[in-house]
């Protein structure tokens, strides 16, 4: 049996409840959501301990998080983009040693977001407001801020930027 219901209709909830009570419509469980057991802010790193026998790390979406194993099973996880992914640690034979869900969230510092029409600009205000390169910013602002940051980094290294 199919139950047609318009969600905004006042009787929709009552119809759904009646159908569930009669056993006609099974309870619609929401999709299983796995809670992240590792949370990291974007552009920050977090240390976790994995078994020492880790030979391979599988990262489902490396645009969200990156990881590298150090000696003794210490693993550095770096937030690269917003969202969630998982990391699977394997030993040399391919056996799963650990699996973790990693959630990358926005910055923890004081951030001010300015919207100008459809364009967004982000500033880190700790304590003075300075431009911040953040995913989702307007293209012109993002590109200008990135170019300035890149030029500054090259100057700090004493290297001329490539043209």
- The string of pLDDT tens digits covering residues 39-55 is 999 889 999 999 989 99
Q: Judge if 79 and 97 occupy the same domain.
A: yes
Q: What is the pLDDT of residue 23?
A: 55
Nearest to 133, CA basis, from 43, 66, 64, 39 = 43
Considering the domain architecture, whether residues 94 and 132 belong to the same structural domain is answered as no
Question: Would you say residue 86 lies in a domain?
Answer: yes
Residues 96 and 129 in one domain: no
Please list the pLDDT of the chain residue by residue as tens digits (163 residues): 333 334 444 444 554 554 555 554 444 444 455 577 999 998 899 999 999 899 999 999 999 999 998 888 899 999 999 999 999 999 999 999 999 999 999 877 788 999 998 899 999 888 889 998 888 899 999 999 999 998 888 888 887 766 6
- Kindly state whether residues 42 and 63 are assigned to the same domain: yes
Domain hosting 50: range is 38-105
Q: Sheet containing 96-105: which strands, arranged edge to edge?
A: 38-41, 96-105, 83-90, 56-59
Longest CA pairwise span in the chain (Å): 75
Residue 70 shares a structural domain with residue 96 = yes
State what percent of residues in the chain have pLDDT above 90.
Answer: 50
Cα of first residue to Cα of last residue in the chain, in angstroms, is 66
| Rg, Å, the chain Cα set | 23
Same domain, 78 and 116: no
Same domain, 88 and 129: no
What is the spatial distance between Cα 102 and Cα 78, in angstroms, rounded to a whole number? 10
What are the structure tokens assigned to 153, written together? 């980094």
Cα dihedral sign, 147-151-157-162: positive
Is 59 among the domain residues? yes
Query: Residue 81: which CATH number?
Result: 2.60.40.1380
């Amino acid at each position: 049996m199919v139950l047609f219901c318009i969600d905004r209709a006042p009787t929709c909830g009552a119809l759904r409840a009646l159908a569930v009570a009669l056993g006609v419509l099974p309870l619609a469980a929401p999709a299983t959501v796995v809670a992240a057991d590792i949370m990291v802010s974007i552009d920050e790193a977090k240390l976790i301990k994995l078994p020492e026998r880790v030979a391979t790390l599988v990262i489902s979406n490396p645009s969200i998080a990156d990881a590298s194993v150090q000696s003794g099973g210490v693993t550095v996880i770096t937030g690269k983009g917003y969202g969630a992914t998982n990391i699977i640690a394997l030993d040399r034979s391919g056996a799963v040693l650990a699996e973790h869900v990693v959630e990358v969230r926005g910055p923890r510092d004081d951030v001010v977001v300015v919207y100008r029409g459809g364009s967004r600009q982000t500033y880190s205000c700790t304590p003075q407001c300075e431009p911040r390169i953040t995913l989702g910013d307007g293209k012109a602002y993002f590109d200008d801020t990135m170019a300035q940051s890149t030029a500054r980094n090259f100057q700090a290294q004493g290297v001329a930027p490539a043209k």
